[in-house]
Structure 1
Amino acid sequence: MQSGNPFDFYIKCIKNYVTFNGRANRPEYWYFALFNFLISIGLLFVSRIIGTDILRGLYVLFSFLPSIAAGVRRLHDTDRSGWWLLLPIVNIIFLCLPGTPGDNRFGPQPGDDRA
């Protein structure tokens, strides 16, 4: 895995929220997905306590574009078009596959993809 805190992958995806070009390796994508899930679960509990879903709704709006962009970049790492993200079952398989070694048509290899 790349050096640093796994939360750094989440921050990187948030900062690149409209970057649909380039590549994202597996740790970057899956740590983003993990933290996104954990934050959503935390907000679910908070929304139950305060009795409104406004925080969850705001977070969904906040994380919508970064989630799509991270998925597209992850598919680019496997040398596939981001349009595969529209196919529910197939995209999960592609998102789990290792990236293509070296450069591909979407750019240079991102970091270490052994994880």
Structure 2
Amino acid sequence: MPSMRSRRVIARAFTSAGARAARSSGGLPIATCYRKSFHKRGRASRSEFWWFALYYLVLEAAFELLVHGRTPYTPPSWGAGLLAVVVGLFAIYSFFPFVSVEIRRLHDVDRSGWWLVASMLMGALSEAALGVDVMSALATHRLRQFVRALMDGGHWGLTFALVATVAINIAVFIFLVWPGTAGDNRYGRDPRGAGRAKRGDPRFVGRH
């Protein structure tokens, strides 16, 4: 297990990696996402979304490393604790621009942001239902029977919820990687600029 000093160095490396990613793209996608933290109208290109997604992943990894990298033998460190709090708060705040840019990315492929809402709701309902059933099975010492019944389709409601959640998440992921609509659509102007103003022009289909 790495020492506290090593974990701080690794966490800083994660954070600096996110900063380098921002600089390599001119910093514009990440800055734009923060500027539009609560702006869910309009559209976002694939590059804008995926740069911020990478940055957010690095931020979350740094937080997890700081929080869960401790052991009972690790000496306490106020510096590491304060750094974990700062990174954690920043990660929580960054969740809002991440959701906003995801909605705008769906708009870019002419899809409603309700797809994301449906994905979140189905995920929450599935986790809640699964948690209740598992806790009930553990309380009655019937976990093995519960797993067998679930695999055999006995819990059809829970099975349907899990399958629906996976299907919606796959659909949302496909939308996120799909090329945006060429030209304007019902959600706004093409984020890639006036060069794609002519809707449906085959010269522009598939470009960022």
Q: TM-score range with shorter-chain normalisation?
A: 0.7 to 0.9
Which blocks of at least 5 consecutive residues in structure 1 are unaligned?
none
Report deviation, 1:10: 0.9
Q: Deviations over 1:1-42 (max 9, x none)?
A: xxx842321111011001100000000000010111112222
SS of 2:34 mapped into structure 1: helix
Aligned-partner residue type, residue 66 of structure 2 = V
Pairing 1:109–2:140 present? no
Q: Deviations over 1:47-74 (max 9, x none)?
A: 4363585345313321121111000000
Q: RCO greater where, 1 or 2, for CA within 8 Å and sep 6 or more? A: 1
Which blocks of at least 5 consecutive residues in structure 2 are unaligned?
1-22, 71-79, 120-168, 194-205
**Aligned twin of 2:108:** 77
State how many pairs are aligned. 112
Cα distance in 1, alignment partners of residues 189 and 28 from structure 2 = 20
Aligned-partner residue type, residue 185 of structure 2 = N
**Aligned twin of 1:99:** 180
**Aligned twin of 1:41:** 61
Structure whose CA Rg is larger: 2
Counting aligned pairs with the same residue, the percent is 38
**Aligned twin of 2:198:** none
Q: Of Structure 1 and Structure 2, which has the larger fraction of its residues in helix?
A: 2
